[in-house]
Amino acid sequence: MDDRRDPMDVLIAGLKPRTDALGSLHATAGAEDLLTKILATNSTETKPLRSKRHVVRTLALAATLAAAVAVVWVGESTVRPRQATAVTFEEQDGYVSARITDPSASKAEFDAAFAKRGFDITVKLVPASPSLVGTVPRFYGDQQANRHEIKMYYDTSCYTDGGGWHCPVGIIVPSDFAGHAVIDIGRAAQPGERYEMAGNAFLLGEPLHCSNLPGMTVDQAIPVLQDLGIRPIWRSVDRSIDVVSGIDPSTIGSLLVQTESSGRSLGVIEIWVGPNVPGTLSGPAEDDWNRALSVGC
């Protein structure tokens, strides 16, 4: 039998070892299925070599198939693009609202976005607990900035303890602002990095939201926290027994978890305990607080 092989078979056979690589890259079932169908040709079968014109067409078809595999492979991957812009600007009535739209952007990207808009505003990125990533806790700068010409831009659909339903997600700047300002923006913290901004760990977006820990005894809460992968630092509302570095839980096992908590770093949270059941107060502020603790649960 003629041992010459069809160029198409050679090219297709050359693609077969890549099926293992495709699986190792966690491609979707659709991509794997298409590749399997394309590679269904029996590459060990030998055929007479055809005309040069047919060879050219065969090579072109092989290139097209390879491109199709690449498109499906990439198109069905789990990679998702980042937001196109670090800051979104909207102008109205002589003011520009600058909202943070990509908390993962770098300092250089933030600075460039403000400079492109014509503002001398630079950014300082500070490690923050999850619910505060992308928020703006403060701004500071020269006299123009300090005369309150710059204001906070709030999102009233989220809750911050101490601020109520007002999350600072940007700034509002006069269109003709010619001064210099610096704004802090919360960024995701690295493992072991101490937060400079920390929200209550029971609020939406934080690791203890919907955990139902408030009202549990310390002894009851410990296994729940272990399941969540949280290392608690126990604090007490009773100053006479409180220890900043953390209380030995064996000495406070019957005390009740309160609704006060604060992240120190990823997976490490200060949790306050006391003798009373939390949430015993009443009134609009308390109702607001309880709603924030349970939203989405």
Closest CA relative to residue 180, chosen from 143, 148, 147, 153: 143
- Is residue 97 within 8 Å of 172, Cβ to Cβ? yes
pLDDT above 50 for 139: yes
**pLDDT exceeds cutoff 50 at 145:** yes
Give every strand in the sheet of 120-128, ordered side by side. 120-128, 180-188, 139-141
DSSP state string for 144-202: HIIIIISEEEEETTS-BTTTBS-EEEEEEEETT--SEEEEEEEEEPPTTPPPSB---TT
Rounded to an integer, the average pLDDT of 202-210 is 94
Contacts of range 281-285, beta carbons closer than 8 Å, 24 or more positions apart? none
- pLDDT score at 165: 78
Rounded to an integer, the average pLDDT of 60-89 is: 49
Q: Which of 129, 132, 124 is nearest to 181 (CA)?
A: 124
292/283 Cα distance (integer angstroms): 14
Mean pLDDT for 265-280 is 91
Question: Is residue 124 scored above 80 in pLDDT?
Answer: yes
- Asked which of 81-85, 228-232, 275-279 is least confident by mean pLDDT, the reply is 81-85
Q: What percent of the chain has pLDDT over 70?
A: 67
Q: How far apart are CA 98 and CA 90, in angstroms?
A: 7
The pLDDT of residue 267 is above 60: yes
More confident residue, 148 or 259: 259
User: Mean pLDDT of all residues in the chain?
Assistant: 78
- What pLDDT was estimated at residue 282? 63
> Is-above-0.75 flag for pTM?
no
Decide: 183 and 243 in contact? Cβ < 8 Å.
Answer: no
Does the structure show a pLDDT above 90 at 206? yes
Taking the CA atoms of the chain, what radius of gyration do you get in angstroms?
A: 29
- If one compares 4 and 278, the residue with the highest pLDDT of the two is 278
